[in-house]
Chain A
Amino acid sequence: MSELPASLGAGAACPIPVLSVVVPIYNERDNVAPLHEALTHALQQLDRSYEIVLVDDGSRDGTRDVLRRLAAVDPHLRLVLFRRNYGQTAAMAAGFHAARGRTIVSMDGDLQNDPADIGRLVDKLDEGYDVVCGWRRWRQDRAVTRLLPSRVANFLISRVTGARIHDTGCSLKVYRSWVVRSLHLYSDMHRFLAALGVGLGARITELPVRHHPRRAGKSKYGLGRVFRVLADLVGIKMLIQFAAHPIRWFSLLALPLLLLAIGMFVLGFVKVRGTGAWEWFAGYDMAAVAAGAVAMLVAFNVFLLGFLAELQVKVSKFFRHRIAITAREASR
């Protein structure tokens, strides 16, 4: 981006913010005004120009009117209004797209996160990091059934993705803009933003933050959810690492199967005597040989899928696009 002459851009009343706060909102009619107040209060104490991007995800309880009323009197506020409910990730993606600042903060719209923590997170970012995640160290949740699976999940996620984050479920995070613009969010990916950041080469760290208990709502951790998180984890790990080559992952998947297949194949030629001795090539076990052969075929099949994946990566302009964005943003 070419630089405009200094005289045109400077000024204390410059409307281009340095800090953007993105909050997805869904049916939070009573929480919006206190949220806005808390945010304004916290942000005004920082010494930077800021903007607040509130994304309304198709609320039908009157949230929208409250938002418009707030926007009418606060120049720091920007609203993105969806036509209907598209989900939290879409709302966050839209918010990131509309944000203009070089530093972007994401948080929950239901007052679980405390805006007062934003300052500390931003300062930590300036120490030389690209993503700073909030860590809800002193969780206020009651049920052990919620904490334990959550802890296990966090441990797994941090180990597997290398993000070393204790609390990936905390929405309060601060990013440099290039990290956010290089990512395209869909499905439930917003939980894995930190992990994806690792894939981009971002430096990630965390800071303890305050946490206010969720007012209502049932615990969302059940067995099915655990499985889903695990599946997502495997997917994310692969996606992060496939900047190298996706075929490596498919080799990883095919290898054990191949070994099993060879094992079964070989086993087909062994006959075990009652004394425990093994006799080789005395006869053959058709079943084992057949199973081994089929398993070997499938292993090759899986391996070849890897080529398909490589092709897809080549054909899509994904990496060229991403490199272009990263280069442009990093030089802002």
Chain B
Amino acid sequence: MTAPLISVVVAITGPDAHPLPVVDGLGKALVGGGYRCEFVVVLDGPATRYERELRDIAAHWPLRIVQLEGGGLGESIALSAGVAKAKGDLVVNAPPYLQIEPEDVLLVVKALEAGADCVATWRYSRIDPWLNQLQSRFFNLCLRWIMNMPFHDLNSGTRGFRRRVLDEVSFYGDQYRFLPVLARRQGFRVVEVRVRHREEKGRAGFYGLGVYLRRLLDILTITFLTRFTQRPLRFFGYLGFTAIAVGAPMALWYLYSKFELDQSLSDKPGFVLGALLVAFGFQLIGFGLVGEIIIFTQAPNLRDFKIEDVVEGAGDADATDGGRPEEGGPAAVKPAAVKPDAVKSDAVAPTSPVAADDGRAANAVPIEHADEPLRVRELLPGEDSRWDSYVSRHPLGTFFHRTGWARTVAEQFRHQPHHLVVEQGRRWLGVLPLFLTRSLFLGRNLVSMPYAVYGGVLADDERAQQALITQATALGRELGVGYVELRHLEARPGDRPRSPLYVTFRCELPDDPADVMARIPKKARAEVRCARDPAAPAIEGKRRESFGIRVTPDGSVDELFELFAENKRRLGSPSLPKRWFRGLVEEFGKAAVVHRAVDPRGRTLAAVMSFCFKDTVYAYYSGSHSDVNVTGVNNWIYCAIMEWAVEQGYRHFDFGRSRVDSGPAKFKKNMGFEAEPLHYEYLLLGPGAKLPEFHPSNPKLALPRRLWSKMPMGACNFLGARLSRHLP
């Protein structure tokens, strides 16, 4: 087994940094300890003064440099950016000078390996001036008192953690130094390790007032937020109650003195104070109640536990040794190799190789159930995780097979799901997600999957597949549908009526982001360069209007929708409603990414929403400005998405479906992709049923399309939202 890879992230935010000794010292210590290491240096500001040092470093150590645009973004962002680029599973955050003795970094790493998720360091033999030490002690004392966390030295710049801590814990501004606190609050294991102090850089003496205020505010914010998201009424109720308990006696005493002792209240500020405290107490309780309602009504969206695995019991009730302990795809095939997105995909990527390491599973012979009948039934509530597990493991499973897609479709368009499962005994042998769609234009049909380009049957063998298809046919007849549409990506065994309308474009991604450009044909490459580089030559015969366009994965749904809807209107098609896109992002979280192309003035020229699943990135919804004749921005944004995908560790890119010989299909071919026929199959059930022809290139739709493109935007959006339900 190869030595674990430790990523050391160094953020350079100030002027007094010396990355070379840090890298050298830590690198030697780590290598000496038997680890592999890589360094990520994040530059939060102009880089010129460190160029030489960084070049020296790069000559001896594996180094990646992250340059933050603009600068002055702070250490929290720098840390997040650095970890995003790091490849190792264990991360050590070090300040840009040798703060601790380099060998002590091994203590941090060993603590991580021993099972901790986050490691905070405690410097001893402090060498900084006594005033600083005093302040530091005071700060940490306050912290321990307010937050109730036993950390002694949160200002120490050296920390260690696992990547997934940063995935789950959100922090911003100056909160990076509270990372161990936040992590512990969220349930991670955090330990403190004593390390020898070596040198300290930074201001001696008192800091400015602003610094103290900011630190105080940070402490309050963190304490407050954590408690607030738990049960706001507890926190506010406690404060409110205390306020009332303190204020009421005060006010009552003065009232008593007014009535019994004939004293006026005017010169008794205590009365006012008491009364105000009581009023304030009520106010606080009111806030607590509002907080409770907010949390309560948002609870369905807050489900934040991550499931590592769902295991189904197996074996006979009486047998003492039995078959396989886990659900699986194809029978004897070892589950697909370690997926790079096991950390990225949402919730249910199972770590099946771990189970195999138990020793039993890999060698156990599956019990022959050949004589047991196959049974097809609908998916039960409670089996979502199991379904997602199955799709993850099946080699043909796509993003659109996930229950998340079905949930979003059901919620946004109110179509009825009829997910089918075929099982033998207790083992699942196949799944088929279906939706009953009722459309004014297309009639009643069963579709797998609506609003998706892929879907259809996932089965372990042909027998299971046939059982699913038979049941789908029966279900279709029972529901009175015209046809059952199976949007298969790859061919499935058997012969059913097919539609030749669509093709798809996919490719395998290279290992190095730089190779992405190399695979694009020359003409498209020139367009990319034109869009991307300020100094590229203009393309012969085309006017170049924009340059220096950047592509970043931080687009918003609003931007995407605006561009998408505009494009659709121009083409004469109804657009999906904005709530659909929002629903997708809400459901899939990080698995749905919006990239946008921004020109130097900050204007978003194009946006693309992509989905990430297993080792594939699906570029799906896109839109770009029509009124700006920008050369190559569309080529550039897809190229950038592919490079991003490679950096994130994905191996496949799916450019999406297009109609044969359409404009988009030609565009994709020009980008170097090959058209692959799709295998959309139809089980025709109703009398006189035939393959659907309701698609934009149908000549009957030419007039409606022209009219649509002339309508105002607001009307298009309104009608589009209504019509989308009928265009699955």
User: Which chain A residues have a beta carbon within 8 Å of chain B's beta carbons?
Assistant: 1-2, 4-5, 8-9, 13, 15-16, 20, 58, 60, 65, 67-68, 70-87, 90-91, 93-94, 97-100, 177, 181, 184-188, 227-228, 231-232, 234-235, 238-239, 242, 246, 249-250, 253-254, 256-257, 260-261, 264, 267-268, 271-274, 283, 285-288, 290-292, 294-295, 298-299, 301-302, 305, 308-309, 312-313, 316, 318, 321, 328-329
Across-interface contacts of B475 in A (CB, < 8 A): 2
Establish whether residues A298 and B282, one from each chain, have CB atoms under 8 Å apart when the complex forms.
yes
CB distance from B618 to the nearest CB of A (A): 25
- For residue B187, CB closer than 8 A to chain A, the reply is yes
Given A74-B313, A81-B308, A291-B275, verify A312-B266 contact (CB < 8 Å): no
Q: Chain A interface: which of B197-205, B285-293, B698-706?
A: B285-293
Establish whether residues A309 and B290, one from each chain, have CB atoms under 8 Å apart when the complex forms.
yes
B296 interface neighbour in A1, A181, A231, A239, Cβ under 8 Å: A239
Across-interface contacts of B321 in A (CB, < 8 A): 73
Given A232-B231, A253-B285, verify A4-B378 contact (CB < 8 Å): yes
- For residue B535, CB closer than 8 A to chain A, the reply is no
Establish whether residues A94 and B255, one from each chain, have CB atoms under 8 Å apart when the complex forms.
no
- 7 pairs from A and B in contact (CB 8 Å cutoff): A2-B479, A73-B313, A73-B322, A98-B386, A234-B233, A238-B289, A287-B269
CB distance from B577 to the nearest CB of A (A): 15
Chain B positions 657-681 with a Cβ under 8 Å from a chain A Cβ:
none
Establish whether residues A227 and B286, one from each chain, have CB atoms under 8 Å apart when the complex forms.
no
Across-interface contacts of B269 in A (CB, < 8 A): 287
Given A73-B319, A187-B231, A228-B234, verify A267-B289 contact (CB < 8 Å): no
Given A15-B423, A84-B117, verify A74-B311 contact (CB < 8 Å): no
CA distance A292 to B292 in the complex (A): 29
CB distance from A265 to the nearest CB of B (A): 11
CB distance from A99 to the nearest CB of B (A): 5
CA distance A111 to B616 in the complex (A): 45
CA distance A67 to B355 in the complex (A): 12
Establish whether residues A79 and B309, one from each chain, have CB atoms under 8 Å apart when the complex forms.
yes
Establish whether residues B275 and A295, one from each chain, have CB atoms under 8 Å apart when the complex forms.
yes
Across-interface contacts of B707 in A (CB, < 8 A): none
Given A73-B319, A87-B187, A231-B238, verify A81-B307 contact (CB < 8 Å): yes
- For residue B697, CB closer than 8 A to chain A, the reply is no
- For residue B381, CB closer than 8 A to chain A, the reply is yes
Given A73-B320, A257-B282, verify A80-B423 contact (CB < 8 Å): no
Q: Chain A interface: which of B96-104, B256-264, B554-562?
A: B256-264
Most chain A CB neighbours (cut-off 10 Å) among B279, B283, B309? B279
- For residue B65, CB closer than 8 A to chain A, the reply is no
Across-interface contacts of A250 in B (CB, < 8 A): 286, 289
B287 interface neighbour in A71, A287, A305, Cβ under 8 Å: A305
Establish whether residues A75 and B316, one from each chain, have CB atoms under 8 Å apart when the complex forms.
yes
CB distance from B257 to the nearest CB of A (A): 10
Given A78-B311, A231-B238, A234-B237, verify A287-B279 contact (CB < 8 Å): no
CA distance A313 to B255 in the complex (A): 41
Establish whether residues A298 and B280, one from each chain, have CB atoms under 8 Å apart when the complex forms.
yes
Establish whether residues A16 and B380, one from each chain, have CB atoms under 8 Å apart when the complex forms.
yes
Given A78-B313, A80-B310, A231-B231, verify A294-B289 contact (CB < 8 Å): no
Q: Chain A interface: which of B32-40, B46-54, B298-306, B492-500?
A: B298-306
A83 interface neighbour in B115, B280, B307, B385, Cβ under 8 Å: B307
Residue of B nearest to A97 (CB): B382
- For residue B107, CB closer than 8 A to chain A, the reply is no
Most chain A CB neighbours (cut-off 10 Å) among B266, B377, B478? B266
Across-interface contacts of A231 in B (CB, < 8 A): 231, 233-234, 237-238, 288
CA distance A235 to B236 in the complex (A): 11
CB distance from A153 to the nearest CB of B (A): 15
CB distance from A263 to the nearest CB of B (A): 10
Across-interface contacts of A97 in B (CB, < 8 A): 382, 384-385
- For residue B268, CB closer than 8 A to chain A, the reply is yes
Establish whether residues B294 and A312, one from each chain, have CB atoms under 8 Å apart when the complex forms.
yes
CA distance A329 to B311 in the complex (A): 25
Given A2-B479, A72-B325, A231-B231, verify A242-B293 contact (CB < 8 Å): yes
B293 interface neighbour in A75, A85, A90, A313, Cβ under 8 Å: A313
Across-interface contacts of B626 in A (CB, < 8 A): none
Establish whether residues B262 and A274, one from each chain, have CB atoms under 8 Å apart when the complex forms.
yes
Across-interface contacts of B233 in A (CB, < 8 A): 231-232, 234-235
Residue of B nearest to A314 (CB): B297
Establish whether residues B381 and A316, one from each chain, have CB atoms under 8 Å apart when the complex forms.
no
B307 interface neighbour in A78, A80, A287, A309, Cβ under 8 Å: A80
Across-interface contacts of A292 in B (CB, < 8 A): 275
Establish whether residues B230 and A257, one from each chain, have CB atoms under 8 Å apart when the complex forms.
no
Across-interface contacts of A298 in B (CB, < 8 A): 279-280, 282-283
Establish whether residues A100 and B382, one from each chain, have CB atoms under 8 Å apart when the complex forms.
yes
Establish whether residues A68 and B311, one from each chain, have CB atoms under 8 Å apart when the complex forms.
yes
CA distance A108 to B725 in the complex (A): 46
B292 interface neighbour in A8, A76, A239, Cβ under 8 Å: A239
Question: What are the interface flags for B423-436 relative to A under an 8 Å C-beta threshold, 1 for contact and 0 otherwise?
Answer: 10110000000000
Given A72-B314, A272-B258, A295-B275, verify A313-B297 contact (CB < 8 Å): yes
CA distance A184 to B258 in the complex (A): 52
CA distance A328 to B55 in the complex (A): 64
Given A75-B314, A267-B255, verify A312-B305 contact (CB < 8 Å): no
- For residue B528, CB closer than 8 A to chain A, the reply is no
CA distance A71 to B198 in the complex (A): 53
Given A72-B314, A83-B306, A287-B266, verify A312-B282 contact (CB < 8 Å): no
CA distance A273 to B299 in the complex (A): 58
CA distance A58 to B471 in the complex (A): 40
Residue of A nearest to B382 (CB): A100
Establish whether residues B322 and A294, one from each chain, have CB atoms under 8 Å apart when the complex forms.
no
Establish whether residues B474 and A5, one from each chain, have CB atoms under 8 Å apart when the complex forms.
yes
- For residue B315, CB closer than 8 A to chain A, the reply is yes
- For residue B375, CB closer than 8 A to chain A, the reply is yes
A86 interface neighbour in B231, B268, B305, Cβ under 8 Å: B305
Known: A15-B425, A81-B308, A186-B295. 10 other contacts (CB 8 A): A67-B311, A78-B312, A82-B306, A99-B382, A227-B234, A231-B288, A234-B233, A239-B293, A249-B289, A264-B275
- For residue B276, CB closer than 8 A to chain A, the reply is yes
Across-interface contacts of B290 in A (CB, < 8 A): 305, 308-309, 312
- For residue B721, CB closer than 8 A to chain A, the reply is no
Residue of B nearest to A60 (CB): B115
CB distance from A247 to the nearest CB of B (A): 11
- For residue B358, CB closer than 8 A to chain A, the reply is yes
CA distance A9 to B266 in the complex (A): 82
CB distance from B186 to the nearest CB of A (A): 9
Residue of A nearest to B275 (CB): A291
Given A16-B380, A68-B358, verify A83-B308 contact (CB < 8 Å): yes
Establish whether residues A186 and B285, one from each chain, have CB atoms under 8 Å apart when the complex forms.
no
CB distance from A184 to the nearest CB of B (A): 4
CA distance A86 to B319 in the complex (A): 34
- For residue B271, CB closer than 8 A to chain A, the reply is yes
CA distance A88 to B480 in the complex (A): 46
Across-interface contacts of A228 in B (CB, < 8 A): 231, 234
CA distance A20 to B381 in the complex (A): 12
Establish whether residues B286 and A273, one from each chain, have CB atoms under 8 Å apart when the complex forms.
no
- For residue B383, CB closer than 8 A to chain A, the reply is yes
CB distance from B386 to the nearest CB of A (A): 8
